[in-house]
Structure 1
Amino acid sequence: MRPNLRKQLLIIVLALLIWPVLCRPEGVYAYTPYSTNYKDGYGQLVWTQSAYYPVGALGREIYIPDPKKPGQHIYSPLKQPQDLFIDSKDELYIADTGNNRIIHLNEAGDLVRVLDLKENPFNKPQGVFVDKNGDIYIADTGNKRVVRLDKDGKLLREFKRPESKFLPASFKYDPVKLIVDKRGFLYIAVLGGYQGLLEIDPQGQFQGFFGANVTSFSIIDMFKRFIYTREMYQKEISKLPGAIASVTTDQDGLIYTVSSDAQTGQIKKLNIAGLDQLAHKGEFTKPGEKTSFGEIAFSNYDHSISALTDLTVDSDGNITAIDSKRKVVNQYDSNGNLLFFWWGDDGAVTTKLGLVKTPTAIANNSRNELYILDGENNLVQAFRLSEFGALVHRANHLTQDGKYEESEAPWAEVNRLNAYYTPAIAGLAKASYKKGEYEKAQELFLEAGHAQGYSDAFWQNRLVWFQRHFGWLMNMVLAGLAGLYIAKKWSGRSGWGRKWRSRRSDENRLVGQLKVAFTILKHPLEGFGALRYEQKGSLLSSTIIFILALASYCVMRAGISFIFNPEVILDVNLLIVVVQFLVIWLVWVISNYLISSIYRGEGRFRDVVYGSAYALFPLVLLGLPITIISNVMTLSEGSIFRFLYFGVFAWVGLLLFWKVQSLQNYTVGETVINVSLSLFTMTVCGVLVFITIGLTKELTDFFYSVFQEVTIR
C-alpha cells in the first residue's frame, strides 16, 4: 500500500472517531466548574449530572454616551449591582446600585438604555420590577422611596413612607426589593423589616404587613419565661423574627419570599391570605417538622449558616434560590422538594464562567434559563438547562400535575442516567402505584425512602392479602378458640391446673427470682420490697433481665419499620446503641445511689442495681411484639404505634419511680425530689464528660504543636 494512501486512510479513521464527539449537543460535553448534587430524605449526598451549564456573561461591556465629547462613548461598567429582573420580552433590568442607575439590556446583553432620573437622581437603588404594562418600579433605598416609571422611563409617581396610625413610629422605611400584583398593589421588602412585606395600594396607602416570619421559641426561652421576673425578662434582648430579604411572584400571582436569617421556612409560597403553601409540604418532611431550605454538601463546609438572599420561580413552578454566603444555588420544585443544588470552589484567583463570586440576585427568562447577578465581578452569568436537567424538569412537572403514567418514561430515562437520583425512583413508584402495581410501588418507595408512599402501597398490599386469606385466618382463630376451650375443660377435670398453681416456687431459685419481675409489673411496691427485704433478687437474675432488655432495645432500634424509624435504612450502628444504653443506665444507677445516700435513703448499692435492672422488664416483654407490629402497620395507625412505643418507656419510668420509693422507703414527695436530683446529677455528669473530652483534645493538640515545633527546630 502506498504511503499516501495509508495516510489518507488514517485521517479518515481518525475523523470517524472524533466526529461523534464533536457533534455532541453542547449540554452533553460542556465543562462546568461546579459540582451538582442532590440530598435524599436521610441527608445522604448524591452526585448528579449538571442540571445547568453556563452559556455566557452579560453586562461586562457597557458603553454610554460621553457627556464631555458628543458622539463618543465611554466604558461604564456595573458597580455593586444588587438586583436583576427579566420582563416578558426576556429583557434584563439591573439595579446598578453603585452607579445610582438602572441598566436595561436586551436578550443578547446589549445596552438598550440607562435609567437614572436626571431631574431627581436615584440614591443606591437596590430593587427593580417591571409589570406587564411595561411600567418600571424601583426601590430607591437611599432616598427611602419607591418610584414608578412608565415604559419610556418617565416618572409617574413616588411612593414614600405611608402615613398611617397602624404603622409603628419605629418602622424604618428602607425599601430593598419589591413586586407589584395584578391589582397594582405593591409588596415591599424593607431593610431589617421583621414585620413582613409592606403592602401599599396604588394610591400609596398602607394596607398592612404581609407574610411575616414567626419568632422561634426554644426550650431555653420557655425556661426563662417561667423563672424570670417581669423586670429580668424586659432586660433580655428582644427576640425578633427573621426579616424578609427578597420577594418575587409567579405566573399565578402567588407571592414568594426568602429570609436570610431564619432557621426553617426560609422560603415561603404565600397565597392571598398570607398562608405559606410550602410549610410541611416536602415529601421527605417528617410529621410536625417544618420545611428547611438552603443546602450544603458537607457539614463542615465553610462552617456557616444558610443565607438565602434572592429567589426566582420559572414557568413550571420550580423555585431557585441563591445562598450569598456559601455561593450555592438551590433548586426546588413547586412543593418545596429539592431537585438540585450546585456549588464550586470560589477561592480561585481567576474568574471562571459558571462560578459566581458573590451572587446577589437571580432571575429566569421565558425559556427557564437562569441569570445570576454577580455583585463582585459586576456582570450577569447565564445558565441553560442541560439535557439531564430538562429531562428531570419535564418528568417532575408531569408528576406535579398528577400525570403519573405519562411521567414514567422520562423518569425511567432519568433513572437510567443516574440510578441514585431519588426523585426518579419516587416518580417511578408513583407511576406504579397509579397503575395498581402495589408490590412494585412498595419496593420503589422503600428504595426512595418515601414513608408516606410506602405506607399507602403497603396498605393496598395488606388489604389484598387479607382479602385472599380471610377464610384461612378465621379458621385459625376459631381453631385456636376451640383449642383453648378444650384445654380449659381438660385441665379442670384432670386437676392439672390446680397442680400447676400449687407447685412449689422454690423448686428452682433462679426461676423464682425471675418470677419477681412479673410481680413487679402487677404490684410494683411489693415486688421491689421483695428484692430489698426478702432477698428475691440476685446478680444473675438482674443480669439476665438487663441483657434481655438491652437485646430487646437493640431489636427495636434495628427492626422497627422504616416509616416509624427512618434510621433503619442507614444501617443502625448497634455498637453505638449498646454503648448509649449502658452509659445511661450506669449513670442513672450511680447518680440515684449517690443522691439516695445523701437524702436519707435506706437502699444499698446492690438494691439500686437490682431494682434498676428489674425496672427494664417491660422492654423485655413488649420490645419484640412492638417491633413486629410496626412492620404490619401504616402511617394511618401511627398514633397506635406511638402509644405503644412511648408507653413502654413511660412504664419503665414509672417502675424506676416506684423502685426509688420502695427501696429507699420514701414518701411520694421525697421520691419526686430524689428522682429530680438524680436526673440533674446525670445532666451534670454529661456536661463534665463533654468538658473533659474538650479539654483533653485541646491539651493533646497543644502537646502535639509543641512536639512539631521542637522537631522542626
Structure 2
Amino acid sequence: KYDVDDKKILGEIALDVFKAPSGVFVTEDMEVYVADPGADSVFRISPKGELLETFLKPTEIAFGNTPFKPAKIAVDSKKNMYIIGEGVLNGIIQLSNGGKFLGYFATNKVKLNFVQEMQDLFFTDAQKKNVQSRLPITITNVMVDSENIVYSTTIGSNADNRVAKHNTAGRNVFDASLFAPTDLSDVYVDSRGIIYTSSLNGTIWVYSNDGYFIHAFGGKNPNEAIAGLFSSLDAIAVDANGKIWAADATTSYIQGFEPTAYSILIYDAIDAFNGGEYATSEEKWDAVLKKNQMLRIAHDSLGKIYLYTERYEAAMKHLKISNNKSFYSQAFWEVRNIVIQRHVSTFILALIAIWIFTKLIKRLDKKRGILEPLKRWGSKIKGIKWVDDYLFVFSFFRHPIDSFYDLKKGKRGSYLGSALIGITAFAIFLHSYIGRGFLYSYGPIEDIDFNVVIMSFFGLILLFVTTNYLVTSIKDGTGGFGDIFKMTLYSIGPWILGMLSITILSHLFTYNESFLIEIIHLIAILWTGVNIILGLQEIHNYSTRTAISSVIISAGFMILIAIIVMIVLLMGEQVFDFFEVIIREVIRNATR
C-alpha cells in the first residue's frame, strides 16, 4: 500500500494463504480482492489487511469441471466479482458477492481464418477431427469502473475485442476497428471515463470513453532499466490526480507518469463535451488542434459540436476528416435540406424553361428544319461501323432477344464494339470505385490496390467467358468462345448504367436514402443476369432452364477456380521460402 502524495509505503499484505497472487482490485470502501491461481482462490481482505473471506471453486452444476485458477479480478459496487481464470475459454467468470456462480460474461467468439473456413466447407467429419482444435481467444484482463461498466482486453491479431467496453449483455459497444496493439495486458478507467491500457511491449495506450484513440507512449527495452521504457509492461493504474502507475513484471519496477498539459487539455475538452458545455469544449478542442492538427478525436468532437449547434457545413468538414460517416450523413442532410428550400423555386422555373425551350425547338425544327444539319451529322457518325457497333449496346435495353439474334448472325455488333464496351465498363467501374461521394466511398484512394481492382474486373469477365465456354461445350452449346465473349460484354449495359447512376447519386444521397442505392445496384445486377441468360439461350439454342443451369455451373467453377488461385497464392510464399532454404543449404554445403 503506497501513498502517492507522501511517496511512502504505508503497509504490506502478506498472508500465509497466498501462493502466487497475480490480480488485485480495490473497492470504493478500500477492501482488497486478490486473485491467486496458485491457491485456486479469491481472497477478500479488509482495509487493515485482515482476511475476511475466501472464495473457492463454485459448486454450481453450471460451472461443472471448469478449472478455477483466478488470475485477474474486478469487482462492481455490489461486490459481484468478474474473474479471468487460467484455462477458461468460456469468458469472464462472474460470481455474486457470496461466491455463487452467475454465469460467463463477454465470451470471445471463435474467428476462423480462410484455410479453416475452407476446411469446414470441404472436409469430412473424420478429417475435421484431425485438424487443430479451434479455441476462442482468451481475455487477458478485466476492469469495472465507478458506474459498474465492465471493460476487458484481449491478446491476439485476430481479436475484434482487443479493448472492449461491455454492455449489460456482455457485448462490446466499441467499434471492432478500434486502433489497438495485439499484446494488451491490462486496462484501467479513471473517474473521467478515460481508458488506459498497457501492452507487453512497454507501450501505454489511452482512449476516450467512446473508444477514440488519443495517444500512446512508452517503449520496450529488455536489457536495462530506463525511465519510460519497460521490459514487460504487465499492469497499469491511475490515481485521483491522473498520474499513471505502470508495473514492469520482469524488473519488478513501478514507474509513474504525470499527465502533460496537452493530455490535460484533451481530457478537459472531453469532459466539457460530455457535460454538454459545447462552447467550452469547442474552445479547448481548437487549442488542441493548434498543437496537433490531425488528432482524429478533436475533429470528431468539433464536428459533433458544430452539428449540435447547427453549423452544418463546418460539421461536415471536421466529420469528414475524422471519417465519421454516420454524423456526416446527418450534417449533409441538413445542408441539402437548406439548399433545396432556398433554390426549389429556381429549380422548378429552370425545369419549366427547359421544357418550353424543348417544345420551341421541336416546333421550329418541324417548320424550318433547324436541326437537320445536326441530324445529318449524327447519322454520318452513326454510319461509322465501330461507332454503330458500340452504340448497339443500347438496343439490348429495349429489344434484347432481337439484339442477341442480330449479334449471333453478325448483322450488328463486333469484337471491337464489345471491347470498347468493356473498356467503358471498366472506366465507369473504376470511377465508381474511387469517385463516389464520401458517404459511399470505399476509403482513401491511397489505400486502394489498383492492381487488384484491374485484375478483379477483367479476370472476372474472362473467367466467366472461359468457364461458360467449357461448360456449354459439353452441354451441346452451338456458340463459340468469341460468341460468349461478345454476348457477355453486350449484356452488361444495365450494370454500366447502374454503376454510373450510383456514382452520381452517391454525391447527393445521405444514409437515409441508402436503400435506393441498394435497389439500383440489385436491379442492375438482375437485369444484367437476365440479359446473360437470354444471350445464352440465343447463341447456344438453349431452353431457359438449360441456360440458367449453365450459368449456375459456370459460377460454381468460377468460385472453385478462385479458391484454388487463393490457396496457391497463400501457399506460394511458403513454397518459395522452402526452396530458398534448400538452395541456401546446397550453396553452403558446396562452398565448405
Name whichever of 635-644 and 353-362 sits farther off: 635-644
1:362 to 218, 236, 249: 236
Task: Indicate which of 48, 66, 76 corresponds to 1:181.
Answer: 76
The 1:682–1:523 alpha-carbon spacing in structure 2 relative to 1, beyond 3 Å, is farther
Structure 1 residue matching 2:440: 3-state secondary structure? coil
Matches within 5 A, 1:32-181: 91-92=1-2, 107-118=5-16, 121-168=17-64, 170-181=65-76
Q: Which amino acid aligns with 2:420?
A: I
Q: In structure 1, the residue corresponding to 2:294 is in which secondary structure?
A: coil
SS in structure 2 opposite 1:385?
coil
Counterpart CA distance in 1 for 2:35 and 2:570 is 50
The equivalent of 1:541 in structure 2 is 417
Q: Deviations over 1:86-107 (max 9, x none)?
A: xxxxx54xxxxxxxxxxxx665
Kept in 1, the 8 Å contact 2:464–2:554? The answer is: no
Tell me the distance in 1 between the aligned counterparts of 2:452 and 2:133.
41
Paired residue for 2:555?
675
User: Per chain length, whose mean CA-contact separation is higher, i.e. which structure has more relative contact order (CA < 8 Å, sep 6+)?
Assistant: 1
Post-superposition CA distance 1:373-407 (Å, at most 9, x none): 10011111111111111112211232333333221
Aligned residue runs from structure 1 range 543-558, under 5 A = 543-558=419-434
Question: CA 1:693 to 1:254, structure 2 compared with 1: closer, same or farther past 3 Å?
Answer: closer
The residue that corresponds to 1:393 in the other structure is: 267
Change (3 A) 1:572 1:154: closer
- Please say if 1:334 is aligned against 2:209: yes
Contact 2:90 2:104 in 1 (8 A): yes
SS in 1 for 2:66: coil
1:448 paired with 2:322, answer yes
Report how far residue 352 of structure 1 moved: 1.1
Residues 595 and 677 in structure 1, CA contact (< 8 A), matched pair in contact too: no
8 Å CA contact retained: 1:561, 1:627: yes
Going from structure 1 to structure 2, the CA distance change for 1:692 and 1:370 (only over 3 Å counts) comes to: closer
Report what 1:411 is aligned to: 285
How far residue 654 of structure 1 moved from its aligned partner, in angstroms, is: 4.8
Distance 2:136 2:566 in 1: 32
Go from structure 1 to structure 2 and tell me whether the alpha carbon gap of 1:689 and 1:159 turns closer, same or farther (over 3 Å shift): closer
State the partner residue of 1:84.
none
Q: For the residues of structure 2 that align with 1:523 and 1:679, how far apart are their CA atoms?
A: 32
Aligned equivalents of 2:587, 2:465: Cα separation in 1: 42
- Between the aligned partners of 1:693 and 1:496, the Cα distance in structure 2 is 68
Contact 2:479/2:540, CA 8 A, preserved across alignment: yes
1:523-534 paired onto structure 2 within 5 Å: 523-534=399-410
Deviations 1:235-294 (A, max 9, x none): 7665443333221111212222222246112333234x33436244xxxxxxxxx34452
C-alpha distance in 2, partners of 1:415/1:691?
46
Return the alpha-carbon distance in structure 2 between the equivalents of residues 316 and 138 of structure 1: 25
Query: In the alignment, does 2:367 pair up with 1:472?
Result: no
The one-letter amino acid paired with 2:348 is M
Separation in structure 2 between the aligned mates of residue 687 and residue 663 of structure 1, nearest angstrom: 35
Superposition pairs of residues 489-638 of structure 1, within 5 angstroms: 509-568=385-444, 570=446, 577-598=453-474, 600-638=476-514
Partner Cα distance (2:572, 2:32) in 1:
62
Mean Cα deviation higher: 537-546 or 255-264: 255-264
TM-score when normalising by structure 2: 0.86
- Taking the aligned partners of 2:142 and 2:570, their CA distance within structure 1 comes to 43
Q: 1:694 to 1:456 in 2, by over 3 A?
A: same
Which residue among 305, 328, 332 is the counterpart of 1:458? 332
Distance 2:329 2:357 in 1: 35
User: Quick check: 2:155–2:162 contact (8 Å CA) kept in 1?
Assistant: yes
- AA partner of residue 211 (structure 2): G
Q: How many aligned residue pairs are there?
A: 581
CA contact (8 A) 1:405 1:435 kept: no
| Structure-2 change in CA distance of 1:211 and 1:680 (3 Å) | closer
Q: What displacement does 1:602 show?
A: 2.6
Letter aligned with residue 167 of structure 1 = F
Distance apart, 1:159 and its partner CA: 0.8
Q: Secondary structure, in 3 states, of the residue corresponding to 1:113?
A: coil
Alignment of 1:219-238 (within 5 A): none
2:151 maps to 1:256: yes
The structural deviation recorded for 1:619 is 4.2
Report the counterpart of residue 219 of structure 2 in structure 1.
344
Q: Which amino acid aligns with 1:311?
A: V
Q: Distance between the aligned counterparts of 1:379 and 1:598, measured in 2? A: 75
SS in 2 for 1:391: helix
> What is the percent sequence identity of the aligned residues?
24
Task: Find out whether 1:294 has 2:191 as its counterpart.
Answer: no
User: How far apart, CA to CA, are the structure 1 residues paired with 2:473 and 2:525?
Assistant: 26
Which letter does structure 1 place at the counterpart of 2:330?
D
Question: Structure 1: which 5+ runs fail to align?
Answer: 1-90, 93-104, 281-289, 296-305
Distance in 2 (alpha carbons) for counterparts of 1:575 and 1:204: 59
Q: Confirm or deny: 8 A CA contact 2:468 2:554 kept in the other structure.
A: yes
Counterpart selection for 1:209 from 104, 109, 122: 104
| Larger relative helix fraction | 2
Please state how far the C-alpha of 1:609 moved relative to its aligned partner.
2.3
Task: Confirm or deny: 8 A CA contact 2:178 2:212 kept in the other structure.
Answer: no
**In the aligned structure 1, how far is the partner of 2:453 from the partner of 2:467?**
21
Q: CA deviation at 1:112?
A: 2.7
Distance 1:596-1:133 versus aligned 2 partners, 3 A rule: same
Q: Deviations over 1:551-588 (max 9, x none)?
A: 11121112101211142464756576445433443344
1:305-332 superposed Cα distances (whole Å, 9 cap, x missing partner)? x1322100012111111222x4332221
CA distance in 2, matches of 1:671, 1:661: 11
Check the 8 A contact 2:89/2:138 in 1, yes or no: yes
Q: CA deviation at 1:361?
A: 1.0
CA deviations on 1:647-670 (whole Å, 9 max, x unpaired) are 434544554455445434441323
Any unmatched runs of 5+ in structure 2? none
Please state if 1:241 is matched with 2:148: no
From 410, 420, 427, the counterpart of 2:301: 427
Distance 1:486 1:477 in 2: 14
Give the conservation status (yes or no) of the 8 Å contact 2:105–2:170.
no
How many Å separate the matches in 2 of 1:212 and 1:369?
Answer: 32
The one-letter amino acid of 1:350's match is: E
* Structure 1 residue 176 displacement after superposition: 1.0
RMSD: 3.7
Q: Is the 8 A contact 1:263 1:292 kept in 2?
A: no
Residue by residue over 1:479-501, the C-alpha shift from the partner in whole angstroms, topping out at 9 and shown as x without a partner, is: 4455667788899999999xx9x
Q: Which residue of 2 aligns with 1:9?
A: none
Give the Cα separation in 2 of the matches to 1:257 and 1:572. Answer: 33
2:95 alignment partner AA: I
Which of 76, 82, 93 aligns to 1:198? It is 93
Partner SS state of residue 60, structure 2: coil
3-state SS of 1:427 partner: helix
Deviation at 1:335, TM superposition (A): 1.0
